[in-house]
Amino acid sequence: MLYVELDDVIVSENRQRREFDDEKVVELSGSIRRSGLINPIAVRVYGEQVTLVAGERRLRALKLLAKLGVTYKCGGKDTPLGYAACMEMHEMDSVQIFEAELEENLRRKDLTWQEAAAAIAQLEKLRNMQRGDAGLPVSAADLAEEVHGRRDGSYQGQVREQLIIARHLDRPEVKSATSLKDALKALKRTEGLEKSALLAATVGATFSNKDHTLLQGNCLELLQGVAPESFDCLLTDPPYGMGADEFGDSGGKATGSHEYNDELGAFRQLMALWIPQVAKVMRQQSHVYQFCDLDQFHALRLAWEIQGFKTFRTPLIWFKPGAYRAPWPHSGPQRKYECILYAIRNDRPTLKLAGDVITCNPDENLNHHAQKPVDLFRELLSRTCNPGDSVLDCYCGSGTIFPAGHGLKVRVTGMELDPAYAGIAAKRIQELQ
């Protein structure tokens, strides 16, 4: 037994435990005052230098007692005021010292998830040093068995996650997470953003308006010339099948007209041909955003699911604060929203979590009756597309998709039947920087 002045015990900065609950330190000091110090503090001595090996919380409790002028017993003997009762750990190498601290700390229930992850990573490093160049690297299963006494799936998985996170504990968004699970989510989000930034820098070096393609003609015919699995995302605004070509309910405030047959039977026939065809040109991991009428939403869901896509149960909503269309001009409300069907193939992940209601006013009209705003398209694409991805719009109208995609450095292919609208879209492409 050694008796060392409390202030002379050196606590290394690289110890596993970094955070201590002050309330628990106070509780421990009360226990030591009543019952004595059961286990002396473990130290290593080099000349006059005394370094803590295990027992930092006990050391803190003893310092608290010293401030109060209280002595304590250890091994049935009184300890001088202001001193720590210590046990010297003889001839311990770095691995053995770490093991002593691991036994003291890692198995304790109050170790923070950050400290536990750092300790597991340090144990992995030391075990690999111990094996040397000749041995195989220590596995997550080996570490799980050593720490938890179990090497099966969940224990192995937890250790593997701790090793991943330990490499990123210097990231503020990871370190500030409330749990290991939340830290993994934060890391995934951050790495996704960093990947996008790197792609943007790489793609942006050569990206121009020449990366976009405008095709004028019937999309059912044009799609036949497109290679399978060409696109990462479909964002399109086809006919709705709601008789829009006969609308006259805006009181003269809306300009433009619908030049196509929007009768329900024609719409159903078009979708029966178009959806299977466009599904062939979508990649095995891809997203779909299709504007639609609420009455046709469930039928469209079924049609996409038949093609192997998973559809979101309810539509995304585009809310238009400044909209004025009134289906019943003299006795009903104005229509302030439109629906968007969202579907994914093979669980392609999104780049961000965002709401299912998007608020956006229309842009200045370019003489297209159903023109969608650039900000709306840009928001949808930003949820799905990395720089360099390929996007398809089979009904691109006046070309909203082009400036929306260009700002995100994604390559856009637009198809438009009407030559006049295709001309407007071409002009928008030319104006892109």
Tens digit of each residue's pLDDT (9 = 90 or more) over 372-393 = 999 999 999 999 999 999 999 9
Whole-number Å distance between alpha carbons of 116 and 133: 27
CA-CA-CA-CA torsion for 409, 411, 415, 418, nearest 10 degrees? 40
| pLDDT greater at residue 318 or residue 51 | 318
pLDDT of the residue at 249: 43
Return the top range by mean pLDDT from 69-73, 399-403, 428-432: 399-403
77 vs 339, more confident:
339
> How far out from the chain centre does Cα 230 lie?
26
Q: Angle, nearest 10°, between helix axes 56-67 and 22-35?
A: 70
| CA separation for the pair 366, 368 (Å, rounded) | 6
* Band of pLDDT at residue 19, cut at 50, 70 and 90: low
Q: Of the candidates 184, 147, 182, which has an alpha carbon nearest to the alpha carbon of residue 165?
A: 184
Residues ≥6 apart with Cβ < 8 Å to 114: 18, 19, 169, 175
Model confidence at 2, in pLDDT bands (50, 70, 90)? confident
Which comes out higher in pLDDT, residue 176 or 286?
286
More confidently predicted of 347 and 95: 347
Averaged pLDDT, 145-167: 85
Model pTM above 0.75: no
pLDDT at 260: 62
Mean pLDDT of 177-192: 86
Q: What was the pLDDT predicted at 359? A: 96
Task: Please report the pLDDT score of residue 253 as a whole number.
Answer: 38
Cα separation values, 136 from 122, 140, 267, Å = 17, 12, 64
Q: Is the pLDDT of residue 220 over 70?
A: yes
CA distance 217 to 129: 67
Q: Residue 233: CB partners within 8 Å, gap ≥ 6? A: 286, 287, 288, 289, 381, 384, 385, 389, 390, 391, 392, 410
Tell which wins on pLDDT, 401 or 95: 401
Please determine, for residue 251, whether its predicted confidence score (pLDDT) is greater than 50: no
Residue 255 has pLDDT above 80, yes or no: no
Nearest to 115 by CA among 184, 158, 169, 154: 169
pLDDT at res. 254: 37
Please give the residue that has the higher pLDDT: either 221 or 4: 221
pLDDT above 60 (res 252): no
pLDDT cut 70: percent of the chain above it: 85
pLDDT band of 151, cuts 50, 70, 90? confident
CB-based contact 242:264 (threshold 8 Å): yes
Indicate if the pLDDT at residue 257 is higher than 50: no
Quote the CA–CA distance of 64 and 61 in Å, as a whole number. 5
pLDDT of residue 279: 97
DSSP string, 39-69: SPEEEEEETTEEEEEE-HHHHHHHHHHHHTT
Average pLDDT over residues 118-142: 80
How far, in Å, CA of 115 to CA of 61, rounded? Answer: 20
pLDDT of residue 332: 82
- Confidence class for position 355, pLDDT limits 50, 70, 90: very high
Kindly state the tokens that stand for 211: 């990366």
pLDDT, the chain, mean: 85
Q: Which of 6-20, 97-111, 258-272 has the highest mean pLDDT?
A: 258-272
Domains and CATH numbers, the chain: 1-93 (3.90.1530.10), 112-205 (no CATH), 209-430 (3.40.50.150)
